[in-house]
Amino acid sequence: MRTKAILAIIAMALFSLLAAPAWAATVGSPYYNAVRADNPLVYYGFDEAAGPTATDLSVNGRNGTYGNTYTLNQASAYTGLGTGVLFNGGNVAVPALGGVYSSLTLEYWIKPTDLGGGGFRTLYNRDGWNTGWVHNHLWAGGAGGASKPMEFSLAGANPTDQFPTGAIQLNTWQHVALVYDASAKTIMQYLNGVAQNPVTTYTTALSADLSGTGHIGQWDGSSRPYLGSMDEFAVYGTALTATQISAHYSASTQTANLDVPEPATMALMGLCLAGLGRYVRRRR
């Protein structure tokens, strides 16, 4: 009877180790694999314990640099997303993203505390304002109003400021994808993997120029701050499909796949099993 009780305790200990959240970072999670499979130009997981380097998780080595007021180690929406960053007048400086693209996708998780009723809340902004340069903000004070605060702008396009359909929630984590297609003259917003309709259209659209530096979280690194948390920021030089974006969102929620023990957990399990083995041998 005593043996059964001890075995039950050991089994419960092993189960609790297996069930514990295993990922302190994005790397290796289903979301990470889904994003990387679609060849992002840059991909920040914001999993660093400390700045100033924001590691690019794509294959392109475009590390960013945290600046001004930011706080790392923020709880994210799902375990497989690791941790995120809280911006409160902070930013990440982003290097040039390669060139000019006829299609573009911006993707990130955000938990905003302000939707921009008083002005731009910069999500991603190429520094400066010339033909084809991309800017993306929350701007509830703009023409879209509070129901369509997401703004995507491209210098030289008509209209300049676009407000894709779909409400952004305050103080709530949400997955956002913005897909710009210059050939189709459209900008489309996906929220939590679902396409928001109707699709916003341009009269004149231009290729998006990302050949220069930019910033996440602040306009040119010093003003118009995004207020709130962000995680898993990625930019693609292609128009991701509805299927791809839905798959990314679904991958983020696959916590069942995340219960893969870390090395430290494996070592603890090994000690438990060794102890169990010695105990059973002694009882024989």
Tell the smallest beta-carbon distance from residue 23 to Ca ion (Å): 9
- DSSP labels for 176-212? EEEEEETTTTEEEEEETTEE-SSPEE-SB---EE--S
**CA–CA dist 216, 233 (Å, integer):** 9
End-to-end CA distance of the chain: 15
Nearer to Ca ion, 44 or 133 (CB): 44
- The identity of residue 128, as a single letter, is G
DSSP state of 167: P
Nearer to Ca ion, 47 or 209 (CB): 47
Considering the rule CB under 5 A, would residue 81 count as an interface residue with Ca ion?
Answer: yes
Listed ranges 9-17, 81-89, 184-192, 200-208: which one lies at the site for Ca ion (CB under 5 A): 81-89
Report 225-244 residues binding Ca ion (CB under 5 A): 231
* C-alpha radius of gyration, the chain, whole number: 22
Tell the smallest beta-carbon distance from residue 246 to Ca ion (Å): 20
Listed ranges 111-119, 125-133, 224-232, 255-263: which one lies at the site for Ca ion (CB under 5 A): 224-232
Nearer to Ca ion, 13 or 75 (CB): 75
Tell the smallest beta-carbon distance from residue 96 to Ca ion (Å): 23
Listed ranges 168-176, 223-231, 240-248, 250-258: which one lies at the site for Ca ion (CB under 5 A): 223-231
Task: Tell me whether strands 53-54 and 42-44 are parallel, antiparallel or unpaired.
Answer: unpaired
Nearer to Ca ion, 45 or 149 (CB): 45
Tell the smallest beta-carbon distance from residue 31 to Ca ion (Å): 9
136 beta partners: 124, 152
Considering the rule CB under 5 A, would residue 47 count as an interface residue with Ca ion?
Answer: yes
**CA–CA dist 155, 193 (Å, integer):** 28
Tell the smallest beta-carbon distance from residue 201 to Ca ion (Å): 33
Nearer to Ca ion, 72 or 242 (CB): 72
**CA–CA dist 74, 258 (Å, integer):** 19
Considering the rule CB under 5 A, would residue 181 count as an interface residue with Ca ion?
Answer: no
Among 22, 23, 38, 45, binds Ca ion (CB under 5 A): 45
Contact 259, 19 (CB under 8 A): yes
Nearer to Ca ion, 46 or 219 (CB): 46
Contact 272, 10 (CB under 8 A): yes
| Closest-CA residue to 173 (of 242, 89, 78, 98) | 78
Per the listing, tokens 């200990």 go with 13
Per the listing, tokens 């991958």 go with 251
**CA–CA dist 55, 145 (Å, integer):** 35
Q: Which residue is nearest to Ca ion (CB)?
A: 82
**Burial class, 272, CB count within 10 angstroms (exposed 0-12 / middle 13-18 / buried 19+):** middle
Report 12-31 residues binding Ca ion (CB under 5 A): 26
Listed ranges 63-71, 73-81, 171-179, 190-198: which one lies at the site for Ca ion (CB under 5 A): 73-81
Nearer to Ca ion, 41 or 182 (CB): 41
* Residues at the contact surface with Ca ion, assessed by CB under 5 A: 26, 45-47, 81-82, 231
